[in-house]
Amino acid sequence: MVDDMQKLVNYCKANGFMYQGSEIYGGLANTWDYGPLGTRLKNNIKDAWRKRYIQERDNSYEIDAAILMHPRVWEASGHVSSFYDPKIDCKRCKTRFRADNFITEISKGKVNGDSLKFEEINDYIRENNVKCPVCGEHDFTDVRKFSQMFETYRGTVDDKKSIIYLRPENAQGEYVNFLNVQRTTRSKLPFSIGQIGKAFRNEITPGNFTFRTIEFEQMEFQTFCKKGKDSEIYEYFKEYAKKFFKDLGIAEENLRFHNHDKLAHYAKEACDIEYKFPFGWGEINGTHNRTDYDLSRHQQFSGKNMSYTDSESNEKYIPYIIESTIGVDRAVLAVLSDAYQEEILENNEKRIVLKINPYIAPYKVAILPLTKKQTEEAKTIYKALSLEFMCLFDESGSIGKRYRRQDEIGTPYCITVDYDTLEDKKVTIRDRDTMQQERINVSDIKDVILKRIKKFEV
C-alpha cells in the first residue's frame, strides 16, 4: 500500500487517474477531474456495486432521481436546520477553520472538539490563547454555523423564494420515491432502493485529495423494513459492505468498523467502515438505522400518507429504513492506496506496480508487438480482444519498459506478439503480479483471460 498521500496524488496525476479540477485556472480547491484511467476504475467499481447490491439481490431496485429537489424535502430531512459545520475565522489572515476539528488538532487529540458546544469551543480558544497556525495571531471570530448545503436559484430572480439546493446526499431521492417504487414493482417488505449519483457539500476542511471534495458520488442503498427487523438488517448490511470492500481487493487489516458515539438526528444505530489511508483512518461507508424518521417527516411535510399496507395482515405502518452508503470517490481512493506497491527486483530495479483486482482494473490487457514487424498481427489481435475487454496497444520503447508501464497502471495481462507468432500462431501472456510468462494459442487468448479474470469477480 502507499505510505504517503502526496506520492499517490503525483502518481494519479502522472498516469491519468485524476487531475486537479480547473487546473489551467490555478485549480478550484477540493475538486478533482477523473482522467481516462480514473474514469475506467470508477465505472468498474460502480458496476461491481450494481452487480452486488442490485442484480444479485432479490427485491432491490435502482433509481436515478433528480439532483434538484423541492426545497421542502430538505426542510423535512432536517438538512436546512441541522446540516452545518461549526466554523471560526482568523480575523487577521482570514483563514477559515472547521472549529471542532481545529480543537482536536490543536489539543493533539487530548480534547475531542466534536463533543464541545459552541460556547465551550470559544472558551477553549480564549483560555488556551490558541494561535492561528497560518499567521500565528490569536484573533478569532466566535464559532458560527456554516451551512454545508450549496444553494442556487431557479428562474431569473435571486431571492429567498426561488432557492433550491444541490442535494447533499442521494438518500432523499430514494425516500420520496418509496411509494412509487413499492407500487410499480409490487414489492413486499423488506425491499431496497439503490442509487448512484452526485452529491454536493460545501466542505470547509481541506480535502486529503479526493477523500473530501465539494462534489462527490455516492452509492446509496436503502432497505425498507418492518420495525423489529431493523437491527438484524442493520448488522447484516454492515458485514455486507465490508465483504464488498474485501472483494474489491482491499486487505482486511486495512478496514475496520467504527461505531458512532454521537448519533445523527435521525439515527438509532450508526457505524462506519474506515480504511487506513496514509493520513489515518477515514470513513468510506456509513450504515445507519434511520428508523421511521425520514418517511414520517416526509409524511408530515408533504401531507402524503407514507404508510405501507401489509397485503396479508392489512396492517398499516411507516417502515424503518436501514441505509448503507459507500462514497464512490473514497472507494476509488482506498482501492488505489491499497493496490499501489513499490518493489525492488532481483536486478535492483524499482518496479511500481498497481496490484489491483483484475476484475476492476482500468485495462484488462495490453497488446505489445515485440518489433514493428509484428504490428499488423498485433493490431488484428487487439481489435478482436477489444470486442471483449478494455485493451491497450503499445509499440513504443523496449519491451521491458512497456511491461513496466502496464505494471504501473495495473494492467493484469500483457500479450506479446513476437517473431514466432506468424509461424506458430502463439503469443506470450505475462502476468502482472508474478511476472511469469506463458505461451498460449492466439485462438485461446480470450478464453484464457476471461477464465483468469473470473476468479476475481466481485
Tell me: does residue 169 bind ligand GAP (CB under 6 A): yes
Residue 104's CB is within 10 A of a number of other CB atoms, namely 18
Is 171 among the residues that bind ligand GAP (CB under 6 A)? yes
Q: How many residues does the chain have?
A: 458
Mapping DSSP to helix (H, G, I), strand (E, B) and coil, where does residue 25 land?
A: helix
How close are the terminal C-alpha atoms of the chain, in Å? 21
CA distance 368 to 375: 8
Smaller CB distance to ligand GAP: residue 32 or 308? 32
Count residues contacting ligand GAP (CB under 6 A)?
A: 18
Least separation, in Å, of the C-beta of 239 and ligand GAP? 16
The two beta strands, 18-20 and 316-317, are: unpaired
Q: Which of residues 42-81 bind ligand GAP (CB under 6 A)?
A: none
Is residue 203 involved in binding ligand GAP (CB under 6 A)?
Answer: yes
When asked if residue 291 is in the footprint of ligand GAP (CB under 6 A), the reply is no
Q: Contacting ligand GAP (CB under 6 A), which of 212, 242, 364, 430?
A: 212
* CA 136 from centre of chain: 36
Q: Which stretch binds ligand GAP (CB under 6 A): 39-47, 223-231, 282-290, 442-450?
A: 282-290
Tell me which of 187, 213, 337, 357 binds ligand GAP, using CB under 6 A: 213
- Of 15 and 285, nearer to ligand GAP (C-beta) is 285
Specify the pairing of strand 96-98 against strand 316-317.
unpaired
CA distances from 109 to 113, 134, 372 (A): 9, 19, 60
Q: Which is nearer to ligand GAP, 323 or 394 (CB)?
A: 323
CB 15 within 8 Å of CB 409? yes
In degrees rounded to 5, what are phi and psi of residue 349?
-75, 145
Q: What is the rounded distance in angstroms from the CA atom of residue 441 to the CA atom of residue 388?
A: 17
15/34 Cα distance (integer angstroms): 11
- If the CB atoms of residues 283 and 408 are measured against ligand GAP, the closer one turns out to be 283
Residue pair 213/207 in contact (Cβ under 8 Å)? The answer is yes
Q: Which residues pair with residue 308 across a beta bridge?
A: 317
CB of 419 to ligand GAP, least distance (A): 50
User: CA of 203: how far to CAs of 86, 135, 178, 410, 434, in Å?
Assistant: 11, 22, 29, 32, 42
Answer yes or no whether residue 329 interacts with ligand GAP by CB under 6 A: yes
**Nearest approach, Cβ of 402 to ligand GAP (angstroms)?**
35
Supply the minimum distance, in Å, between the C-beta of residue 54 and ligand GAP. 17
Binding status of residue 395 toward ligand GAP by CB under 6 A? no
Alpha carbon distance 36, 140 (integer Å)? 44
**Residue at grid coordinates 497502471:** 409
**Pairing, β 269-277 against β 280-289:** antiparallel
What DSSP character marks residue 22? T
Query: Which of residues 206 and 397 has its CB atom nearest to ligand GAP in the complex?
Result: 206
* 8 makes contact with ligand GAP (CB under 6 A): no
Nearer to ligand GAP by Cβ, of 240 and 389: the residue is: 240
- Give the x-and-dash track for 215-234 against ligand GAP (CB under 6 A): -x-x-x--------------
Which residue carries 482536536 as its cell?
Answer: 104
Concatenating the DSSP letter of every residue in 281-341 gives EEEEEEEEE-TTHHHHHHHHHH-----EE-TTT--EEPPEEEEEEEEHHHHHHHHHHHHEE
Measured from the CB atom, the residue of 182 and 325 that comes closer to ligand GAP is 325
Could you give the angle at the alpha carbon of 113 between the alpha carbons of 112 and 119, nearest 5°?
130
The residue within the footprint of ligand GAP, chosen from 235, 283, 408, 431 (CB under 6 A), is 283
Work out whether 330 is an interface residue with ligand GAP (CB under 6 A): yes
CB-wise, 167 or 364, nearer to ligand GAP? Answer: 167
Give residue number: closest CB to ligand GAP.
327
Contact stretch for ligand GAP (CB under 6 A) within 96-104, 183-191, 320-328, 421-429 = 320-328
> Of 173, 249, 286, 358, which one interacts with ligand GAP (CB under 6 A)?
286
DSSP, res 438: E
Give the range of 50-58, 242-250, 280-288, 361-369 binding ligand GAP by CB under 6 A.
280-288
| Shortest reach from residue 75's CB to ligand GAP, in Å | 17
As measured in angstroms, the least distance from the Cβ of 33 to ligand GAP is 15
Q: Out of 44, 325, 357, 428, which residue is the one contacting ligand GAP (CB under 6 A)? A: 325
In a 13 Å sphere around the CA of 67, the CA atoms on its Cβ side amount to 17
Q: Can residue 355 be called a binding residue for ligand GAP (CB under 6 A)?
A: no
Footprint on this chain of ligand GAP (rule: CB under 6 A): 169, 171, 201, 203, 212-213, 216, 218, 220, 283-286, 323, 325, 327, 329-330
